[in-house]
Structure 1
Amino acid sequence: MYVWGRLARMMLTAKSRGRYHMGDESRLSFRCLPTDIDSNLHLNNARYMMLADVGRIDIFYRAGLIALARKNRWAPMMGGLQAVYAREIKLWKRFEVVSTVETWEDTQVIGRHRFVLEDGRTAALVMTTAGVYDFRSRAFIKIDDLVSQLGADAKPRPPSDEERIFMNSHTGLRALAKNMK
């Protein structure tokens, strides 16, 4: 229930945060609840991914992607992620998830989700790769075309060295997974 409650809260408050434009941040506030913790009494690793999902859905919803996807039989899909944990988020502590679209290339979007403690320090960083699948053409959509259909006039910046390493690692790991029996 906690997942649906957090998603519902995000949807109900989306209008007050305004439309998402490329280069903006999605900032969502949370508290580490008893249902979020592991045996060390801090936010468990799976919960980081779930809260990153909420931040990503906030961007999709506020940018107009959810409505456009429903209209065109598209589906935003995660490709993969990498997470690093720098500091713990302890039980009952407040924190923010700051989500951004960092850049894109061809059909791949690079997103970032930073988990920020009340004192401003980063607790964790999650980098994601995602795309939008068109069920009619059975192919992923070029992100430049998608951005244009969303009414944005944005161009991607070149991926940073870290983003390029992540993208290459993701491509290699995906190929490995597809070739396993």
Structure 2
Amino acid sequence: MENKSKLVIIVGSVREGRFGPNVASWVAEQAAVHGGFEVDVVDLAEIEIPLALPAASPKFAGDDYPRPAGMAALTSALEGADAFVVVTPEYNHSYPASLKAAIDWHFTQWTAKPVAFVSYGGAAGGRHAVLHLENVLTELHAVTIRDGLSFPNYFTTWQDGRPLDSEAPGYAKTVLDQLAWWSAALRSARNAAPYPA
């Protein structure tokens, strides 16, 4: 497929012993099978993400926003992306602080780009975390995809780095199809005219 969209899969948890890299790896595999994306996996555990933010907002500071040098790879990946998949656990009915910090250090990098969610957790499968993320990323003018993947009780429903549900790849394809559609549409729109933020 020509003109593939650049998809960044974000591993949101940095907790020791986290399951996120397993989920992200599987999602990257599904995206490769899909064929509509150039895939880059960004693991927040490998990036310097301070919780303390500068006084100025990236919304107003633009390119002069004083990010740490250790965040350059993340900023570059977000800037170059056409679409995102956020892989998140649910901690105390929400998402990790590492993910919130990564989002808050950026602004225009999310604008007019689609975001899909893959969550995992206990009985709710991370859906509480996704509901919070949808609000946050909508505020940053991202377009959140309605369909997503949720893995309840992942500790019993995954084996050898793969979900046991045989229908999971089909669900993933649906999410990736929608993400590819939105990615192409929004990329064309961004190329045609600046987004009126």
Q: TM-score range by the shorter chain?
A: under 0.3
Structure with the larger helix share: 2
When the two structures are superposed, what TM-score results if normalisation uses the length of structure 2?
A: 0.24
Structure with the larger strand share: 1
